[in-house]
Amino acid sequence: MKFHTRRPTALAAILLTASVALTACGDDGGDGGDSGSGGDGGGALSMTMLPKNLGNPYFDTSTKGAEKAAEELGAEIEEVGPEAASPDAQVSYINTVAQQGQDALILSANDPEALCDAIDEARSADVKVVTFDADTNPECRDLFVNQATAEGIAAKQLELISEQIGGEGEIAILSASANATNQNAWIEMMETELAENPDYANIELVDTVYGDDEDQKSFDQTEALLQNHPDLKGIISPTTVGIAAAARYLSDSDAKGKVALTGLGTPNQMREYVENGTVESFALWNPEDLGFLATYAAAALVNGDISGEEGDTFEAGDLGEFEVGADGVVLLGEPFTFNADNIGDFDF
């Protein structure tokens, strides 16, 4: 009987220790944030870059663009951010920006709603707020720099696949989940474009399958596509998980080089397959340009060149002139195409 009373206690102790250890691991954010850059007395613009989280190659790239723009503008820019992308983690950084009296805050919001109070406070302290990559509600910020529109993404992918299959043949789409709103919007636009644009008259969309943004399922769905459509010429996968899984499947199957693949992907995921010739080109926006443009937009706001109204225009260095659209949205442009020539320049 002694054993029976003692064992469960030991068990409970082990479980408890494990759970304590886990919570301890999950809770180490919150450092490296508040190195005050000092005042903004010198006349130089002072800006803060607040990505969703630090240590994320995508945002490292956008910060690189922001720093380049700041250098051109003679502004000071400082990057701060949480370790993990959670909404409440960004609030303290926004408060710090308000207290320091920075001129502008450039952020990618972890939540459209939750940050609004903190942002309002910063704006009442005369901080201009520009969102990029992920927006807040339009009324809480001054400008949103949008990476791409649904139309732009749909059109770009059709353009790439048409180019790769020589303008005719069967194509299929490998999507994320069947109820992903953005995916379905893109697919619908591609279908309309295929039906209406005479350039695509000889391209037939034969199937749309769903990989649920899981590597293994996307992989298996690619296999099924090739098996069920022996005449398939190309696959479009407008999701980063899907395109990488499809590329992995194609790269060591008989279909390599016979079936083209394009879609939305990140250079780090796709490098291997572009280099070995499985994939010719794919698209995504360029986060470096995105950070660059957001910084120029913030500077234009601070300098009073624009007020964020629809129709305002401003210059953004090499990227040219941009116009503010409805709801204070500035569009970066059409998606950026990555191929064997330029993929080496990117690391995200």
Partner 1 sequence: MSHTDIERPDAESSEVSASEALLVEPSRLSPTRRVLTTVLRSRELSIFLVLVAVVVLATAKNESFLFSSDGWRNFLLNPSILVLLAVGQGVVIITRNVDLSVGSVMALTAYLTGRLFIEQPGLPVVVVLAACLLLGAVLGLVNGALVAYGNVPALVITLGTLYIYRGIMLTWAGSDRINAGDLPREFLRLGTRAVLGVPILTIIALVVLAAVGYYLHTARGGRELYAIGSDPDAAVLYGLAVRRRVLAAFVLSGALAGLAGALYTARYGTVSSSVGNGIELQAVAAAVIGGIAIFGGSGTVWGAAIGAFLLVTINRALPSLGIEDFWQRAVVGALILGAIVLDRVLAARQARRLAESRDHA
- The residue ranges that bind partner 1 (CB under 8 A) are 4, 7-8, 10-11, 14-15, 18-19, 22, 25-26, 53, 56, 84-85, 209-210, 214-216, 219-221, 223-224, 226-228, 230, 241, 244-245, 248, 251-255, 268-269, 271-273
Specify the residue for token string 């120029």: 296
Nearest to 32 by CA among 89, 71, 110, 99: 89
Q: CB-hemisphere CA count at 13 Å for 150?
A: 12
| Nearest distance from C-beta of residue 153 to partner 1, angstroms | 22
CA 242/CA 253 separation, integer angstroms: 17
Per DSSP bridges, beta strands 169-175 and 232-237 are: parallel
- Cα first-last separation, the chain: 60
Which SS3 state, helix, strand or coil, does residue 252 take? coil
Q: How far apart are CA 124 and CA 252, in angstroms?
A: 58
Residue 4 or 326: the one with the smaller Cβ distance to partner 1 is 4
Q: 40 vs 215, which CB is nearer to partner 1?
A: 215
CA–CA separation, 201 and 199 (whole Å): 6
Cβ 261 to partner 1 shortest distance, Å: 14
Of the pair 21, 150, the CB lying nearest partner 1 is at: 21
- DSSP-derived letter for residue 32 is S
**Vertex 91, ends 85 and 92: CA angle to 5°?**
110
Look at the chain and count its residues.
Answer: 348
- Using the minimum distance from each CB to partner 1, give the nearer residue, 216 or 303: 216
Q: How far is the CB of 308 from partner 1 (least distance, A)?
A: 32
The residue (of 180 and 319) whose beta carbon lies closer to partner 1 is 180
**Least gap, CB of 342 to partner 1 (angstroms):** 16
| Dihedral angle sign, alpha carbons of residues 196, 200, 202, 207 | negative
Shorter beta-carbon distance to partner 1: residue 241 or 301: 241
- Buried b / exposed e across 314-326, counting CB within 10 Å, b at 16+? bebeeeeebebee
How near is the Cβ of 147 to partner 1 at its closest, in Å? Answer: 18
Where is 78: in which H helix or E strand? strand 76-79
Least separation, in Å, of the C-beta of 219 and partner 1?
Answer: 6
**In the bound complex, what is the minimum distance in angstroms from residue 102's beta carbon to partner 1?**
27
Residue number with CB closer to partner 1 (162 or 239): 239
